Structure 1
Amino acid sequence: MALGAGQVSAEPVPYMVDDEHFSMAFEVQHIGYAPVMGMFREVEGKFKYDEETRELTSGSLTFKAKSVFTNHDKRDGHLRNADFLNTDEYPEITFTITDFETTGENTGIVTGDLTLLGQTRPVDVDVTLNKSAEYPFGHEEYTLGFTAETSFKRSDWGMTYGVDNGMVGDEVKLRFGFEAIRQSDGWFD
């Protein structure tokens, strides 16, 4: 987003995703009866954002694939094997930001490359900036709070177990909620 003539553009500021205040839920249909919901418990993330111009210029999220959790040990073990996440061969799932489009006062679409099972494909994520302010306790740093959601077909990444016979849905719905803490200059490489 361009600023008017004579105005000075602010610089994008680095932020680190607060892993203590990060939730990501996924949902996949099970035999058409009901969705199975789960999450990844370990995530790291960083990005650069200019709040004045509402520009998101770079960033990434990395999920530890073995941290998948659906509150069912046997199912979690199955999700970690070669039928699904193949966590021994692909220990990380990454999302790297490639583009950002502002769609409203506090909303946008983040486009990024999702790397899953060694394959990379573009995904669009709808993002809402919920709040930006000094944190009221604890670290007391300037913090941004977000909600985001997207969906994709897991078969596009070669994860086809249970798709053809309708045992496991192809569409994966994702919903994120997280806080990100402003970092000092030079932190982001």
Structure 2
Amino acid sequence: MKTLKIVFILFVLTSAGCISWVFAKSPFNDMPEGQYQLDLSHASIVWKVSHLGLSNYVARFADFDASINFDPNDISKSSVTATINPLSVQTAYPNADQKDFDKVLATDKSWFNGNKFTSITFTSRSIDMKSDKTGEMVGDLTFLGVTKPVTLNVIFNGAMQRQPFSGKPTMGFSANTTITRSEWGMSKYAPSIGDQVEVMIEGEFFKAD
């Protein structure tokens, strides 16, 4: 019986060691150079806006993509591009599908006007590393046909030479920014519906083959 207990303990310790090894993280500058593609199963773009100053209304986009051209020798020389389908907006409005609430928000000329402006795009211009784990990314946001600069606050969550499920080099980030929607021409109901929109982004990027 004691022998079985010892074997079981050794098995647990060995397994724990393997798990620790598999999930080991790497410094970002040790990651391979090149193109990284967004893992759409581990990504989100969520935004929130004040409603009458009483609550924050939260919604998301369901259809988007992004990529990173990564330079490990000088991360500031890396670049990011992203595209969002405005017709993919999703809210938590009760019975949104039955009432066409999301569809109106996506297509109405006073809102996302997605039938005319079929994409929202972001192209980075600079990345300023503030620490090993944080940075500021400045880029051009094109929305409703208007292009203006925005600054994203980026957190570098971690990187793996070999992500245990995909087997590929993978990096993970969180980012947020706040835009003034009227600057892009979306001013309907402001300020009752807030002019300031907070955008929250999560994403994992894997090394493209």
Identity of aligned residues (%): 29
TM-score by length of 2: 0.78
Name the CA distance, whole Å, in 2 between partners of 1:56 and 1:12.
Answer: 11
Residues 19 and 42 of structure 1 are in contact (CA less than 8 Å); yes or no, is this contact kept in structure 2? no
Which residue does 1:153 correspond to in 2? Answer: 180
| Structure 1: unaligned runs, 5 residues or longer | 1-9, 185-189
Which protein is richer in helix relative to its size?
2
Which residue does 2:164 correspond to in 1? Answer: 136
String of CA shifts for 1:128-162, please: whole Å, max 9, x gaps.
1101002111x210000000011010000010100
Residues 64 and 91 of structure 1 are in contact (CA less than 8 Å); yes or no, is this contact kept in structure 2? yes
User: Following superposition of structure 1 onto structure 2, how do residues 18-33 of structure 1 map, counting pairs within 5 Å?
Assistant: 18-33=39-54
Match of 1:60 among 57, 71, 81: 81
Superposition deviation, residue 56 in structure 1: 4.4
Correspondence 1:125 to 2:152: yes
Residues 25 and 175 of structure 1 are in contact (CA less than 8 Å); yes or no, is this contact kept in structure 2? yes
Residues 17 and 181 of structure 1 are in contact (CA less than 8 Å); yes or no, is this contact kept in structure 2? yes
Secondary structure of the residue that 1:169 maps to in structure 2? strand
Correspondence 1:179 to 2:204: yes
TM-score by length of 1: 0.86
RMSD between superposed Cα atoms in Å: 1.6
Letter in 1 for 2:188: Y
Name the CA distance, whole Å, in 2 between partners of 1:106 and 1:53.
Answer: 14
| Structure 2: unaligned runs, 5 residues or longer | 1-30
Secondary structure of the residue that 2:151 maps to in structure 1? strand
Letter in 1 for 2:203: F
Name the CA distance, whole Å, in 2 between partners of 1:161 and 1:78.
Answer: 13
Letter in 1 for 2:91: T
User: Following superposition of structure 1 onto structure 2, how do residues 31-180 of structure 1 map, counting pairs within 5 Å?
Assistant: 31-72=52-93, 73=96, 74-80=100-106, 81-133=108-160, 134-137=162-165, 139-163=166-190, 166-180=191-205
Letter in 2 for 1:51: P
Counting matched residue pairs gives 172
Letter in 2 for 1:66: L
Name the CA distance, whole Å, in 1 between partners of 2:150 and 2:185.
Answer: 15
String of CA shifts for 1:6-42, please: whole Å, max 9, x gaps.
xxxx984211111111111100011221111011001
Secondary structure of the residue that 1:156 maps to in structure 2? helix
Residues 106 and 129 of structure 1 are in contact (CA less than 8 Å); yes or no, is this contact kept in structure 2? yes
Which protein is richer in strand relative to its size?
1
Residues 27 and 36 of structure 1 are in contact (CA less than 8 Å); yes or no, is this contact kept in structure 2? yes
Residues 150 and 174 of structure 1 are in contact (CA less than 8 Å); yes or no, is this contact kept in structure 2? yes
The structure that has the greater radius of gyration is 2
In the TM superposition, structure 1's runs of 4+ consecutive aligned residues that sit over 4 Å from their partners are: none
Superposition deviation, residue 53 in structure 1: 3.0
Secondary structure of the residue that 1:78 maps to in structure 2? helix
